Amino acid sequence: MACDVYRPAAIEQLKVLGEQIEVPVYSEPDCKDPVAIAQRAIHEAKAKNYDLVIVDTAGRLAVDEQMMNEIAAIKEGINPDETLFVVDSMTGQDAVNTAKEFNERLDFDGVVLTKLDGDTRGGAALSIRTVVNKPIKFVGTGEKLEALDFFHPARMADRILGMGDVVTLVERAQQQYDEEEAKRLQRKIQKNQFDLNDFLAQIQQIKKMGNLKELASMIPGVGKALKDVEIDDNAFKGIEAIIQSMTPEERRRPEILNTSRRNRIAKGSGTSTQEVGRLIKQFDQTRKMMKMMTGNKMANLMARMPKGKMPKMPDGMEMPDFNK
């Protein structure tokens, strides 16, 4: 159960969040005693057999005495098992100073570092860890619920050094894909039955994994190359609109898409006939490449590849480019 300690503007936001993740939220908007609210929330949780209560206290961009006294009183009044300090990594040195002040008053157990969606902000993590000598337990890398994750210092160091973070990338993929689904897709690819329904589903799964630029930065060597490049998280919208404007039969058999059908799909998706044609061509190339990767062709191709060079694609195939 979550409890918001007298912050009228934030209570509704927390309730909406609670509904999304099916966590009840306890609040008393008319009560101005934060300690009493927290104590009654814990009593409510025990009465309903909840085994965890997260008390969300008031936050500030700067430290003030009233807030410090209020939070100290809440900690003394409910005696929490763990106290976590949440800080915005974008505030730089201010984040370090605020963490130091809070730790001196509360002696918290760990840190939650938010907005850590850029490798250059790893400096805030290092500074806070050094100053307060408390572990960073969680990091937030975006605005979505899935963007909250455990903090792994070695992985952060690898990303700062441009070595990527393949382990986290694999873990995120595993969270979205199950073994049976992977086997089903592999069978379809081997039989050349991978269709636009499957393609759309894969795009939607990738979107659930997080921010596109962050995902790309986990690939070794890519992070620094994309340092100053903006990747639009809506990059897939056009592709999704085109596929969703197709009939079920057209998604299963894109080879039937003649000029008339492509014109209709372009109008329905708010795109052009050329964009529809480009997507179909790229999908066909992707399907051929995926089929090749599931057989022995890719192994033979890699074996013949000159060191340090990209393999030559088979005749009639181009490397797909979904950014066009």
Task: Report residue 270 as tokens.
Answer: 């708010």
DSSP state of 52: -
Supply φ then ψ for residue 140, to 5 degrees.
-110, 125
Per-residue pLDDT at 232:
61
pLDDT tens across 182-234, in order? 677 777 777 778 888 888 887 777 777 766 666 656 655 455 555 555 556 67
Which of residues 121 and 269 earns the better pLDDT score? Answer: 269
**Tokens 């400096």 map to which residue?**
123
pLDDT tens across 125-146, in order? 778 888 888 888 888 877 777 7
Find out if CATH 3.90.76.10 is the number for domain 2-165.
no
pTM (global) more than 0.75: no
Give the number of other Cβ atoms within 10 Å of residue 116's Cβ.
25
Judge whether 98 and 63 are in contact, CB under 8 Å.
yes
Nearest partner of 86 among 73, 70, 99, judged by Cα:
99
Per-residue pLDDT at 41:
92
Judge whether 244 and 269 are in contact, CB under 8 Å.
yes
Per-residue pLDDT at 200:
85
Strand-by-strand arrangement of the 25-26 sheet: 25-26, 2-4, 54-56
Asked if the model's pLDDT at residue 315 lies above 60, the reply is no
**Tokens 């060597």 map to which residue?**
221
Rounded Cα distance, 15 and 3, in Å: 10
pLDDT tens across 66-114, in order? 888 888 899 999 999 999 988 887 776 777 888 888 888 889 999 888 8
Domain assignments of the chain as residue spans, ordered by start? 2-165, 173-304
pLDDT tens across 236-284, in order? 788 889 999 999 999 999 989 999 999 999 999 999 999 999 999 888 8
Give the mean pLDDT of the chain. Answer: 75
Considering the domain 173-304 in this protein, what is its CATH number?
1.10.260.30
Three-state DSSP class for residue 86:
strand
